[in-house]
Each structure stands twice: as C-alpha cells, then as structure tokens.
C-alpha cells in the first residue's frame, strides 16, 4: 500500500528532552512537510523539503530540526529549546512541481509531562 506513515502515534516527553518523530512515504513524492496543530487551530508549517539534502524553515521553525537524507524519510526532532511542544504533529508529502496536492500522514500526538 502506498502512503505516509508516522511513528509513534503517541509520544510522551519529559521537559528538557529531545525527541524525534518519524515520517516515511512510499509515494515517490519529492517534497515533504512538517506541520504543528494546536487545539482549535489550523496547521502551522514548521519545516519543508523539496528535494533530498535540502530543507527550508517554515513559519515556526524555532526549537525544531529536520534532516532529509533519503527521499522517503523526513524526521523531525523537537528539541528542549521548543518552549511549548505539546501538540499534534502532521507530516505531509507532495510532488514538487507546480502546486501539487499535499497528502497527510496519520499524525503524532506529543505530550510534554
């Protein structure tokens, strides 16, 4: 089955810890994205990557880091510098030509204890 997978589904973190959220896709998409969603809010872009070994900051990149070593994978690290990391994190992917549709993974819900 083609699609986007995210793991884990739920993640609990103690304050001061870094955590890494996984995102994998087998859709042969060039571009991948990370969004954050807070209760009652829309999606805010954290980072995006249009090609392997390249990525750009989105609107709320502070306290986060990413890598894009493989076309299929775009992991997100939430660092201890992120002041309010509790949120629903969504990964998406698309072809990068034109304005192609973004498809979302199932999400990871991160809670800081």
Partner 1 sequence: QKEVEQNSGPLSVPEGAIASLNCTYSDRGSQSFFWYRQYSGKSPELIMFIYSNGDKEDGRFTAQLNKASQYVSLLIRDSQPSDSATYLCGRGLTGGGNKLTFGTGTQLKVEL
Q: Quote the least distance from Cβ 35 to partner 1, whole Å.
A: 8
Q: Quote the least distance from Cβ 101 to partner 1, whole Å.
A: 6
Residues in CB range of 72: below 8 A, 6 or more apart:
24, 25, 26
CA distances from 36 to 25, 26, 90, 91, 93 (A): 18, 22, 6, 9, 15
Residues 7-36 that bind partner 1 (CB under 8 A): 31, 33, 35
Q: Residues interacting with partner 1, by CB under 8 A?
A: 31, 33, 35, 40-45, 48, 50, 56, 58, 90, 94, 96, 98-107
């Amino acid at each position: 089955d083609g699609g986007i997978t995210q793991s884990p589904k739920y993640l609990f973190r103690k304050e001061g810890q870094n955590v890494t959220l996984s995102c994998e896709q087998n859709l042969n998409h060039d571009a991948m994205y990370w969004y954050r969603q807070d209760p009652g809010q829309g999606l805010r872009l954290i980072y995006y990557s249009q090609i392997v070994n390249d990525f750009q900051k989105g609107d709320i990149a502070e306290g986060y880091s990413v890598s894009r070593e493989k076309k299929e994978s775009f992991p997100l690290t939430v660092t201890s510098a992120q002041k309010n990391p509790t949120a629903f994190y969504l990964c998406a992917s698309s072809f990068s030509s034109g304005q192609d549709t973004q498809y979302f993974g199932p999400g990871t819900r991160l809670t800081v204890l």
